[in-house]
Amino acid sequence: MLKFELIVSKGILVLAPEHALQAADFVALSSVLNDYLSTHDTLKGVLIHTKKFPGWHDFAGLMAHMQFVRAHHRFVEKIALATDTIVADVARVTVGRFIHAKIKHFQYADDEPALHWLEDHTAS
């Protein structure tokens, strides 16, 4: 299950994956994000806040995730990964080559500094 909250006033999407990601998670998320993007040019940032990445429930979940990223990445300015897993550093380098958003890794407990970084127009 993917819990999410769109903070409309800040233009920030907070994602908190709790269990293996499923295709249905991205259907619900896409609906909310597409509604937001219909009246806004970009999303200031995405905060992915999880102690440990839970993976995908099945291949359909992985494909839905990839399709979601492909459809929306160009509308996102920054991505903050607040997690204690080493996979975040690998993802930051690997995924960073394919998307234009700035990506920064924070420790799981540092979700507040991560939010501040997403809000700051001058931070890189």
For residue 41, tell me if it sits in a domain. Answer: yes
81 falls within a domain: yes
Domain span at residue 68 reads 2-119
Q: What is the CATH number of the domain that holds 72?
A: 3.30.750
Which SS3 state, helix, strand or coil, does residue 99 take?
coil
Within a domain: 124: no
pLDDT tens profile 55-96: 899 999 999 998 998 899 899 999 999 998 776 656 655 665
pTM > 0.75: yes or no: yes
What is the total count of domains within the chain?
1
Mutual angle of helices 59-72 and 23-37, in 10-degree steps: 10
Q: Quick one: pLDDT band at residue 97, thresholds 50, 70, 90?
A: low
51 located within any domain:
yes
3-class SS at 2?
strand
